[in-house]
Structure 1
Amino acid sequence: MIAAAIVLVVLVTLLIGARGVAAIRSTSDFLVASRRISPTLNAAAVSGEYLSAASFLGVAGLVLKDGIGALWYGVGFTAGYIAMLALVAAPMRRTGALTVPDFAEARLGSAGLRKLSAVVVLVIATLYLVPQFKAAGLVLTVVTGTPYWVGVVVAGAAVSITLALGGMRAATYVQAFQFGLKLLLFIIPAIWLVSHVGADTRRDALAPVEFTRFDRAAPVEFRLDVELTITEPTPVSISGGAAEVLRPGRYEAVAGSTWTFPAGAAVPKVDGALPPGGDRWSRPLLDPNDSGYPLLSTLSLLMATVLGAMGLPHIIVRFHTSSDGRGARRTAAITVALLSVFYLFPAVYGVLGAVLLPELYLAGGTDTVVVALPARVDSGWAGSLFTAMLSAGAFAAFLATSLGLLLALSGAVSHDLLPGATVRRLRLTTLGAAVLVVALALPAAHLDVGALVTSAFAVAASTFCPLLVLGIWWARLTARGAVVGMVVGLVSSAGVIGASFFLATPPGLAATLLGQPALWSVPLAFLTMVLVSLRGRPPAWATAAMLRLHLDETERSRQRR
């Protein structure tokens, strides 16, 4: 049933995408659907590609792993569109650009800035795409038992073929359809879970006790190498072997092994992880590294998600598909309403997981809590049905988001880095980029989906957000200021985050500032752009460019007459 649901989603994606084939005659058709998408359809498509693996699976998983404070992710993801509506949507559409690098060159007249912007698009799109394909492989493994690589390859093939066939128009139809599908497949199982678990579980979910002892015999399948600290003699069966009493001390659980703990056994401690339940878990602030600075961590997350939304290249290009600036504003406004409905429900899965599947935090498998809950609640046909629904919805989330990201990546390579883009080159680039991202996702099974996506937001907030906000609202911005500011923002966000993946992060305040650098990297990028620009002269056409950005299209038409 589960495999059939996923196959059906993939087939429908390909069939809907095939509708766009006949309409592709130019690069404008491929990249922005000839700017003929209505606000309602566009908003549904934006919502479809924005509700990624990090939203469908990651937010609930982060609630289980990091506590109630993880709900700030949904707040930031949605609030970013309010900022986009106020500052970016309509002016960006009025530029007539096809991509963000297009806007950079048109506004400041620098081919070098355009190429730098294209490189930043590649960084953001890769950081965002890899976790989508990784989550596809993970979900397929959990619900069907297939090898991890199968889900990665299937997702990559479905996305690249759909996009190569129909470009932005195909992506729009698919993403709008998949938004409605995801909304239904996320909300209906949530309502069923809440009604089916019983009054006692609902009460416990509102105030879960700290997970200190197993309430039943619990097999824990470790997805990562995890170092456990056992605090009292505990009989444990490892990978189906005979139970062995482990004395207090530190033990390494190897990825792929299954440890079965008996009912009543003390839960091992995991360094840097917060057991579900209890006062710290219920605190409405986020402190994922247990650094002791929850307010700073929460503010940094909000800065990354709210301002990062304004700089995501696959979202920005959506406003270029509107017919005019007014349509772009309406698209952003409708999107806020649609996202607000969706983000009411990740908390349901997160708090129920804290009561019913708290052992997932030991195994590094919190990303799977959404698809694991139905079978835990009901082992019969109902559990299988809702698992199939959620698995299909999760796969739709991977595909919808990956379509937009792969299109942005292909456009950056074919349209911005290489001269003379053609439809044929765009299609070939799409297929080649998908192969590369699949190759990167295959060894990434141990990476945290939420952490990678948040990293992409931090990079977008530190690079494109300053470029767009200052480029749209400050006439004194210079090409030199934009280049230096973007380099500083890129190094201070992507560089620091990349280093934290390979080097041990110092504890305390450093863990907060280096693990989520948006709190200081965004102001640093803004300040650098302003100070460097003040030492130079803006382009001679800066005033005319500002008028074009802010003068309503109907007003311009009236002045021409």
Structure 2
Amino acid sequence: MNAGAGFAALAAVAVATALIGFYGLRISRTTSDFYVASRTVKPWLNASAIGGEYLSAASFLGIAGLIMVTGLDALWFPIGYTAGYLMLLLFVAAPLRRCGAYTIPDFAQARLDSKPARSVTSVLVVVVGWFYIVPQLHGASLTIRTTTGLPAWVGAAAVVVIVVATVATGGMRSITFVQAFQYWLKLTALAVPAVFLLLQLAGPGAPVPAAEATALVWGNTGASPYRTLSLLAALLFGTLGLPHVLVRFYTNPDGAAARRTTQMVLGLLGLFYLFPTIFGLLGRLFLPELVAQGAADATVLLLPGRLMGGAGGQLLSALVIAGAFAAFLSTTSGLVVSLAGVISQDLLGGGVRGFRLAAAVSAVVPLAVALGTDSLALAGSVGLVFAFTASTVCPLLLLGIWWRGLTDAGAIAGMLAGAVMCGGAIVLGGRMHAADPGYELLAQPAAWTVPAAFAVMVLVSLATPGRRNAGVARFMTRLHVPERPLAVDKPR
């Protein structure tokens, strides 16, 4: 791959991000602009921004890489990622917007009237965000190393510098414009090469894969029903607790707009995931050696150059590189915005200055972790973050929104139990071999940690009825009674 094309693509994305962020900076003046874009983001713009931040390294590079390794078993990932938004549409989007909070910890304190519950929620949100950022930085390192030959750390450091500069200067309003642009860039960066590659294969003189590679296309690893069920539980319930996704619903004018946003997101995600699937299947045909080399996540980056060649292949490769870099920037930006809101309000007194300092802290810590660890399969590592989120933040949201009986003691006990069980399973599973007894239960724990966290939360709440928030009836009414037409919550 021509390193010059890689450099040009990366520079173009960085410049475009800076220019769009500067436009947002010009209209970001108040604290509400920085935290929730003054709750004025229209559904179509917000849906594009959510697509931009949600389609991370795991989606852009990891889905194709998983299809390379596991075949059709990997299709459960895009199905689960998309179906999670159906869960958001049905159970969370509108009520969460109506609560009027800035962050998930704000929701916890308003619902439970408990500072300890808020503190536990804040810690978990920050942990989830940090561990979600790490795979994005690993993906950036992989892209830089594969396409330019520069040291891997340059990719991770470049993402952090650009993200912190954009977030700290313009906050949520600025990032909304950036992420909306990056969704459409990512879609174009996969769709255009996919169409050209399919046309190339349909034309005369098309490359012919080996017979053994053809047999691999529809193969799979025969994943057990338990692993499939557990993966779906992680993706479906984990989406409901992702801090960078949930905070975007606070930017809508009202609950109805939040629902429309979610409906649009379902369409945008469904369209996007067609193309990583195409890349993965073509990779199984023409780049099967990447699996043995442990480089399956580079399939999307290498395939256009392998199949097209010449100037056309270089241009398509540059477009893919630009989309990959946009994926790392947009997801990391969303996570940093959501974490900066939590950290600044809980530790730095809120305000614009506290937000900017918190943005730097939110990015530097995962950068240190990423530089000190090796990259795992991108989609697989993000799947474990979903499992952890599904076992901690998700039960708080679902029960807090739909069950009056939730108490602060129950919420704290359930979140801590889920964190200990799921976190412990992930750590132990990472040290085991596939043939060891109990490996599957630990390697993919959501099927038992999620119901266990819900059970602990419910049982402890039933045992502590005296700790229910005295104002729960009024709060629940606010969550579930639709707004008057054209009503818009004013920022605090």
TM-score clears 0.5: yes
Q: Give the % identical residues.
A: 46
Partner of 1:432: 361
Partner of 1:103: 107
- Provide the aligned C-alpha RMSD in A: 2.1
* Higher-strand-fraction structure: 1
Runs (4 or more) in structure 1 with deviation over 4 Å come to 198-205, 208-211, 276-279
Equivalent positions of 1:335-374 (< 5 A) are 335-374=265-304
- Please tell me the residue identity of whatever aligns with 1:300: S
Partner of 1:481: 410
Once the two structures are overlaid, the 10-residue window that deviates more, 51-60 or 432-441, is: 432-441
- Please tell me the residue identity of whatever aligns with 2:353: R
Residues 388-414 of structure 1: CA distance to partner in whole angstroms, max 9, x if unpaired?
000000001110111001112222211
Find out whether 1:38 has 2:38 as its counterpart. Answer: no
Within 2, Cα distance between the matches of 1:300 and 1:108?
A: 30
Partner of 2:10: 6
Residue 127 of structure 1 contacts residue 452 of structure 1 at CA under 8 Å; is this kept in 2?
Answer: no
Within 2, Cα distance between the matches of 1:313 and 1:151?
A: 24
Partner of 2:89: 85
Partner of 2:490: none
Partner of 2:219: 282
- Please tell me the residue identity of whatever aligns with 1:334: M
Report the Cα offset of residue 445 of structure 1.
3.6
Partner of 1:308: 238
Runs of 5+ consecutive residues of structure 1 not aligned to the other structure: 212-275, 288-293
Find out whether 1:522 has 2:450 as its counterpart. Answer: yes
Report the Cα offset of residue 58 of structure 1.
0.4
Relative to the length of structure 1, the TM-score reads 0.82
Partner of 2:423: 494
Report the Cα offset of residue 546 of structure 1.
1.0
Within 2, Cα distance between the matches of 1:357 and 1:146?
A: 23
Partner of 1:532: 460
- Please tell me the residue identity of whatever aligns with 1:516: Q
CA change 1:200–1:476 in 2 (3 A) is farther
Within 2, Cα distance between the matches of 1:419 and 1:374?
A: 47
Residue 51 of structure 2 contacts residue 268 of structure 2 at CA under 8 Å; is this kept in 1?
Answer: yes
Residues 4-51 of structure 1: CA distance to partner in whole angstroms, max 9, x if unpaired?
111010111011111222433443221111101001100000011011
CA change 1:477–1:363 in 2 (3 A) is same
2:404 match: secondary structure: coil
CA change 1:209–1:507 in 2 (3 A) is farther
Residues 407-453 of structure 1: CA distance to partner in whole angstroms, max 9, x if unpaired?
1222221113x152121121122123322222221133432222221
Residue 20 of structure 1 contacts residue 165 of structure 1 at CA under 8 Å; is this kept in 2?
Answer: no
Report the Cα offset of residue 286 of structure 1.
6.2
Partner of 1:409: 339
2:263 match: secondary structure: helix
CA change 1:202–1:71 in 2 (3 A) is farther
Residue 432 of structure 2 contacts residue 439 of structure 2 at CA under 8 Å; is this kept in 1?
Answer: no
CA change 1:316–1:347 in 2 (3 A) is same
Residues 134-165 of structure 1: CA distance to partner in whole angstroms, max 9, x if unpaired?
11111111111111111111111111101011
Runs of 5+ consecutive residues of structure 2 not aligned to the other structure: 488-492
CA change 1:130–1:530 in 2 (3 A) is same
Partner of 1:65: 69
Partner of 1:549: 479
Partner of 2:441: 513
Within 2, Cα distance between the matches of 1:386 and 1:286?
A: 34
Instruction: Give the structure with higher Rg (CA).
Output: 1
1:458 paired residue among 375, 378, 387 = 387
1:146 match: secondary structure: coil
CA change 1:460–1:203 in 2 (3 A) is farther
- The alignment covers a number of residue pairs equal to 481
Find out whether 1:162 has 2:166 as its counterpart. Answer: yes
Report the Cα offset of residue 194 of structure 1.
1.3
Partner of 1:470: 399
Within 1, Cα distance between the matches of 2:350 and 2:222?
A: 45
Residue 28 of structure 2 contacts residue 174 of structure 2 at CA under 8 Å; is this kept in 1?
Answer: no
Partner of 2:321: 391
Report the Cα offset of residue 132 of structure 1.
0.5
1:130 paired residue among 134, 137, 146 = 134
- Please tell me the residue identity of whatever aligns with 1:137: S
Within 1, Cα distance between the matches of 2:146 and 2:340?
A: 31
Report the Cα offset of residue 369 of structure 1.
0.3
- Please tell me the residue identity of whatever aligns with 1:511: Y
2:406 match: secondary structure: coil
Residues 161-204 of structure 1: CA distance to partner in whole angstroms, max 9, x if unpaired?
01011000111000001111111111010111111134799998
Within 2, Cα distance between the matches of 1:341 and 1:509?
A: 40
- Please tell me the residue identity of whatever aligns with 1:526: F
Relative to the length of structure 2, the TM-score reads 0.94
CA change 1:87–1:157 in 2 (3 A) is same
* Higher-helix-fraction structure: 2
CA change 1:91–1:133 in 2 (3 A) is same
CA change 1:379–1:371 in 2 (3 A) is same
Once the two structures are overlaid, the 10-residue window that deviates more, 387-396 or 10-19, is: 10-19
- Please tell me the residue identity of whatever aligns with 1:163: V
Within 2, Cα distance between the matches of 1:195 and 1:515?
A: 40
